[in-house]
Amino acid sequence: MAKDQIISISKFNKLKRSTSLKIKLAVQNISVFYNGKMAVENINMNINQNEVTALIGPSGCGKSTFIRCINRMNDVIENCTVEGKIFFDETNIYDSNVDVVKLRSSIGMVFQKPNPFPKSIYENIVYAPKLHGIINSKSEADELVEKSLTEAGLFEEVKDRLNESGTGLSGGQQQRLCIARAIAVDPSIILMDEPCSSLDPIATAVIEELIDSLKKKRTIIIITHNMQQAARVSEKTAFFHLGKLIEFSNTSTIFTNPKEKRTLGYITGRFG
Amino acid sequence: MYIILAILVCAFYGFYIGKKKPLRLIQNKDLTKLNSSPNYHGYYVFLWCLIPAIITFLTLNFFSNFLIKQIVLDLVPEIESIAKTNIEFVYNQIKTMASGTADAFSADEKLIVAAEKYNELISISNASIFVICICLSSFLLIFIKKKINLEFPARKKVEKFIKLFLLICSIVAILTTVGIVLSLFFESLKFFKQIYFFDFIFGTHWSPQIAIREDQVGSSGAFGSIPVLAGTFLITLIAMFIAVPIGLFSAIYLSDYAHKKVRSILKPLIEVLAGIPTIVYGFFAALTVGPFIRMAGESIGLDIVSESALCAGLVMGIMIIPFISSLSDDIILAVPQRLKDGSYALGATKSETMIKIILPAALPGIVGSILLAVSRAIGETMIVVMAAGMSARLTANPFEAVTTVTVQIVTLLTGDQEFDNPKTLAAFALGLELFILTLFLNLIALRIVKKYREKYE
Amino acid sequence: MSNIIRNDILTPVSSKRTTKEKLFKICGLSAIIFALSMLVILFTTIFSKGYSAFYQTRIKLDINFNEELIDPTGAREITTLNTADYSKLISQSLFKFLNIDKSHPKSSEIKSLISYNSFLTLRDRVLNDPDIIGKTKKINLIASDDVDQMLKGNININIPEENRKITDFQIEAIEKFKSNGNILTVFNKTLFIKSDSREPEVSGVLGAIIGSFYCLFIAACISVPIGIFAAIFLQEFAKKNKVTDFIEININNLAAVPSIVFGLLGLSVFINFFHLPRSSPIVGGLVLALMSLPTIVIVTRASLLAVPGTIKDGAIALGASKMQAIFNQVLPLATPGICTGVIIALARALGETAPLLMIGMIAFIPDTPIAITDPATALPAQIFMWADHPERAFVERTSAAILILLSFLIVMNAAAIYIRHKFEKKW
């Protein structure tokens, strides 16, 4: 039975493998503690440039916590301590000289539930670029809005209503707006925390296509509960369980011939 | 008082009987045969013995007092010549003499006949009321007891009664509002019969003196309320100038920058400011702040009186800080975390997120809290009574002394008063103005805050 | 706008943004510091002005209970003892100590060194123990308020004599008493056992405290049951329709009505319409009850809401009626929250002055009230009246009365917080 399920995943999806040579992020011995209790234990992995890396695993096993280490969003949470190093292009982001604000403008994030600001679509996009001084005039702003929305595949749908509120869009459109917003600051890495979990299948398909085009210029790390989705979009997959990284290798390997028993158990649906 | 005691005794006996009967009816102590527990039967009889008797007692008492007063006063010689306001006093005198506690000063020969009649009537009435109530209670006791049987739904009936009682308690709350509105309204109506309505609302001269005699100096009483309202607004404005920035920034710091532990200490401390009685603030303003401001003004060449609007406004602002900071703090925390996360993830600093995302989102709630604070400031009495002035001046200069609506109400009503004097009635008219104003502000504020909460929940 | 420059995460963002961030944080912190320092200044000012009222100057004198003066007939009749001129005994003792005669031009200044009411102290001594007549005893008499204030340093003795309240001659006399050890500083128990008086040195807050207590007691007896029952009805039994909505809006609004309006209500309804006695605790209590009622309703509803619905459901599933479930299960669990809210509402009522002013509780009442229909005053009203008096001694007494009021409030609020911490369950 287990064999059948593996076959179904591999048969109906073209499984990919990593071909990139450049390492964008080097994670070394990352551990996260909430109030002294360990939530994520000793993660070591390398993320390759211009690829999609998927993180899979059952609920509550530390994937979100881990991903928030990469753009140091865990700093915002009280009583949360992070140990270890993450090298982003040769620089340890946990170095004391690093400016967190700058870091977050180079690493974008898309959340599980779409969270557009209660402002107009236009203002949602130009919010961060204005703060960082990327755009200085109205014409630059207009250009950037069009560019970001086009890259996110949303421009045609909203070009006539840029001044309407971002919260008035459908779920899928809101999520693409959030992606456009993240792209507007031109980050080299985009983190996605289950971006499609609150969307319908059609919107999901649109976003998966979007991910495929985004990775040409950027590196994507995506958390997903949907193994088929992981199989569809990613080159490399990491399996997390109870705060530990169990297995990390090419997507084709994970879904056809996983080395760890727990990995096999998860992807065949035995648990999680 | 013995009547009440007797009724209570009857009622308690009724409870005992009511409880015993169902127990007697079930021979084999099988309680499940009864509809309700025996206690409820007891309560039922108790209530029927107590309530009708009490109601009868109160009604009869009221009417008999009324009748007795009429009869007794008729016996007072030359009753027609006594002024209406003195009749109460005369009647009290009769009552004191009747109870035998009058001494040489308060006894009056002419009233002896009336006093004796009073005693006679009181004893008759007491005796008859006693008999009537006891008979009623006992009759009901026997009648109700007959009704009790195995299927009698005692609990349902008792609970129905309790529910009615609860409803009456709720209605008391409305009665208060009704009472406020009616009393203010009627007294103000009396006022507007003497003073022209538009003069009051739009007049710009406030000088509430009424001549006792025709030729007395200062006989022109002007009742234009604009300067008084202007004083209220000036002081409120100054108070808001202090309270809004400090309250808001405190709320921002507490919600966004402070550690949980620090916040749990600082927030209650700031709320202590709200718990201090306003008379303490008033005393502080008059004793310390007023002279301090005056001295500070002198040292830079400004002439500030010690009862300046600035002094009262400053202290009032301090008192209002916790209103704004606590409410705003709750409102800021109610903004969903995902908006903050979204902003931080884009590389915004805490201050940028706060100013550009959170505050605009929280704005309706914050405006609501400011309106509530304004309403509080407008209705504040003791600080301004002790720190602000008495003369109504139409000015925007914070260094002068102004008066407010609440100060005028206090001034007009403390001191000798007769009740239909336009001076004292003016206080009610001002009170009505104040009530309507604060009602208006409160309704808007509560509506805004409610709408805001619905948006995020 | 190339990636390379912006991705250099080691260089900080524009200093403008960092400064803005720092400034913003400092603004927030300074706002809090300002608010708290105002609190500190308030308390320190009141405390520094008031603590001196808790001790009082007394002058120890040898009083000769001269039989000639008190009871020449020797019959020891009450009326004679009552009406004897005891102040003469005091002046005699004063003159004897200072070695002056009563014909001295400044002898009246000496007489006013001792509190005017001290003759009552001597009279009470004699009435209690007539055997004291003919003997000489050392009595500690209360000094006048000017002497008291001077010794506390509140009167500036460096200004010319005509401009101050205490004369040079009086100062000399005090020095003589001091060097002989006749000046004592004792705990001012008059503040606590006596009521209001024209003379500051014998005035106290007892009447005001009793008045406040009566008012609060009546207010609690009325507002607590009605408030709790009204809240139970509105929360559990009322159907959601326009009428109950209206009642709710009403109650929320009443909680924010200025307190002076309640005073006006009390004046026109309770005093004018129902002819209840003015200035009495019963009217004060009624007015305070109406003021506290909305708050108690709101707090009770919140406490009832905080009890999980599963408790009520469980009881009903076992066969209890709705009313039994509420009164026997939910209400006891909501009690800590209700207690806390009630105590806080009553603490607020204790400090209210404006409505009491309206119903006349700012009359000068030198006797302590006994029945709830006797004229009385309340502690905040007493503070208000004393604040108006010009004498220096009343300044310190006003502050002391404020400290007493604040300590009541602190105790009540601490009790509320204690109850909340100890009994509240986190569901």
Span C324-339, pLDDT tens digits: 888 888 888 898 889 9
* Best mean pLDDT range from A17-21, A212-216, C420-424: A212-216
Residue A125 burial by CB count (10 A; 0-12/13-18/19+): exposed, middle or buried?
buried
Check CB contact under 8 Å for B348 and A76: no
Which tokens is C116 given? 């005017």
- Cβ-contact C352, B277 below 8 angstroms: yes
Which helix (H) or strand (E) segment is A249 a member of? strand A244-250
The SS3 of residue A176 is helix
The answer to whether B166 faces chain C, any CB pair under 8 Å, is yes
Looking at residues C393-397, what average pLDDT do you find?
87
**What does the alpha-carbon distance between residue A152 and residue A175 come to, in Å, rounded to a whole number?**
10
Which among C152, C146, C121 is positioned nearest to C55, based on CA atoms? C152
Check CB contact under 8 Å for C13 and A98: no
The answer to whether B180 faces chain A, any CB pair under 8 Å, is no
- Cβ-contact B145, B17 below 8 angstroms: yes
What residues 137-196 of chain A have any CB closer than 8 A to a CB of chain B? 178, 181-182, 185
Residue A135 C-alpha, separation from nearest chain C C-alpha, in angstroms = 9
Choose the closest CB to A99 out of C1, C3, C9.
C9
Residue A167: DSSP 8-state: G
Choose the closest CB to A185 out of B336, B341, B346.
B346
pLDDT for C2 equals 38
Portion of chain B with pLDDT greater than 90, in percent: 21
The answer to whether C7 faces chain A, any CB pair under 8 Å, is yes
The SS3 of residue A39 is strand
Ordered by where they begin, the domains of chain C are 52-188 (no CATH), 206-423 (1.10.3720.10)
Check CB contact under 8 Å for C10 and A91: yes
Q: Which of C2, C3, C9 to mutate to test the interface with A (most CBs of A within 10 A)?
A: C9
The answer to whether B360 faces chain A, any CB pair under 8 Å, is yes
Looking at residues C414-422, what average pLDDT do you find?
86
What residues 202-261 of chain B have any CB closer than 8 A to a CB of chain C? 245-250, 252-254, 256-257
Q: What is the 3-state secondary structure (H, E, C) of chain C?
A: CCHHHHCCCCCCCCHHHHHHHHHHHHHHHHHHHHHHHHHHHHHHHHHHHHHHHHEEEEEEEEEECCHHHHCCCCCCCHHHHHHCCHHHHHHHHHHHHHCCCCCCCCHHHHHCCECCCHHHHHHHHHHHCHHHCCCEEEEEEEECHHHHHHHCCCCCCCCCHHHCCCCHHHHHHHHHHHHCCCEEEEECCHHHHCCCCCCHHHCCCHHHHHHHHHHHHHHHHHHHHHHHHHHHHHHHHCCCCHHHHHHHHHHHHHCCCCHHHHHHHHHHHHHHHCCCCCCCHHHHHHHHHHHHHHHHHHHHHHHHHHCCHHHHHHHHHCCCCHHHHHHHHHHHHHHHHHHHHHHHHHHHHHCCCHHHHHCCCCCCCCCCCCCCCCCCCCHHHHHHHHHHCCCHHHHHHHHHHHHHHHHHHHHHHHHHHHHHHHHCCCC
Looking at residues B17-22, what average pLDDT do you find?
76
Angle between helices B112-147 and B38-74 (to 10 degrees): 160
Structural domain span for residue A253: 2-267
Which among B274, B234, B271, B237 is positioned nearest to B374, based on CA atoms? B237
pLDDT for C219 equals 94
Whole-structure pTM value: 0.84
Contacts of A134 in chain C (CB under 8 A): 1, 6
Choose the closest CB to A103 out of C3, C9, C17.
C9
The answer to whether B352 faces chain A, any CB pair under 8 Å, is yes
Mean pLDDT of chain C: 86
- Domain assignment of residue A73, yes or no: yes
Looking at residues A151-175, what average pLDDT do you find?
90
Choose the closest CB to A101 out of B259, B340, B349.
B349
The answer to whether B354 faces chain A, any CB pair under 8 Å, is no
Q: Which residues contact A44 (CB under 8 A, 6 or more apart)?
A: A27, A28, A29, A30, A245
Check CB contact under 8 Å for A106 and C12: no
**What does the alpha-carbon distance between residue B98 and residue C177 come to, in Å, rounded to a whole number?**
57
* Best mean pLDDT range from C66-70, C222-226, C249-253, C358-362: C222-226
Angle between helices A171-183 and A121-132 (to 10 degrees): 20
Looking at residues C278-294, what average pLDDT do you find?
90
Residue B368 burial by CB count (10 A; 0-12/13-18/19+): exposed, middle or buried?
buried
Residue B403 C-alpha, separation from nearest chain A C-alpha, in angstroms = 44
- Cβ-contact B247, B295 below 8 angstroms: no
pLDDT bucket at B249, cuts 50 / 70 / 90? very high
Mean pLDDT of chain B: 82
Check CB contact under 8 Å for B352 and A131: yes
Which among A249, B88, C48 is positioned nearest to A258, based on CA atoms? A249
Check CB contact under 8 Å for A106 and C7: yes
pLDDT for B91 equals 76
Stretch among A54-58, B241-245, C118-122 having the lowest mean pLDDT: C118-122
Task: Give partners of A (≥3 CB pairs < 8 A).
Answer: B, C
pLDDT for C395 beyond 90:
no
The answer to whether C11 faces chain A, any CB pair under 8 Å, is yes
Choose the closest CB to C7 out of A89, A132, A134.
A89
Q: Which of A99, A117, A132, A134 to mutate to test the interface with B (most CBs of B within 10 A)?
A: A117
What residues 235-264 of chain B have any CB closer than 8 A to a CB of chain A? 259-260
Q: Which residues contact B107 (CB under 8 A, 6 or more apart)?
A: B97
What residues 430-449 of chain B have any CB closer than 8 A to a CB of chain C? 431, 434-435, 438-439, 442-443, 446
The answer to whether A133 faces chain C, any CB pair under 8 Å, is yes
pLDDT for C10 beyond 90:
no
pLDDT for B413 equals 84
Q: For C196-247, what is each residue's pLDDT tens digit?
A: 888 888 888 888 999 999 999 999 999 999 999 999 998 888 888 888 888 8
The SS3 of residue B368 is helix
Give me the residues paired with residue A165 across strands.
A120
pLDDT for A7 beyond 70:
no
pLDDT for C289 equals 93
Q: Which of C259, C268, C396 to mutate to test the interface with B (most CBs of B within 10 A)?
A: C268
**What does the alpha-carbon distance between residue A236 and residue C97 come to, in Å, rounded to a whole number?**
107
Q: For B99-139, what is each residue's pLDDT tens digit?
A: 776 666 656 677 777 778 888 888 888 888 888 888 888 88
* Best mean pLDDT range from B233-247, C83-97, C265-279: B233-247
Choose the closest CB to B155 out of C290, C321, C383.
C321
Q: Which residues contact C82 (CB under 8 A, 6 or more apart)?
A: C123, C127
Number of domains chain A is built from? 1
CATH number, domain of A190, equals 3.40.50.300
Residue A18: DSSP 8-state: -
Contacts of B248 in chain C (CB under 8 A): 31
Contacts of C9 in chain A (CB under 8 A): 88, 91, 93, 98-99, 102-103, 106
- Pick the residue from chain B with its C-alpha nearest to C238: B167
- Cβ-contact A266, A260 below 8 angstroms: no
**What does the alpha-carbon distance between residue C296 and residue C225 come to, in Å, rounded to a whole number?**
9
The answer to whether C229 faces chain B, any CB pair under 8 Å, is yes
Size of interface A-C (CB pairs under 8 A): 38
**What does the alpha-carbon distance between residue C69 and residue C125 come to, in Å, rounded to a whole number?**
15
pLDDT bucket at B219, cuts 50 / 70 / 90? very low
Q: Which of A94, A102, A219 to mutate to test the interface with C (most CBs of C within 10 A)?
A: A102
Check CB contact under 8 Å for B260 and A78: yes
CATH 1.10.3720.10 corresponds to the domain B222-456: yes
pLDDT bucket at B415, cuts 50 / 70 / 90? low
The answer to whether B427 faces chain C, any CB pair under 8 Å, is yes
The answer to whether B281 faces chain C, any CB pair under 8 Å, is yes
Q: Which of B84, B95, B176 to mutate to test the interface with C (most CBs of C within 10 A)?
A: B176
- Domain assignment of residue A232, yes or no: yes
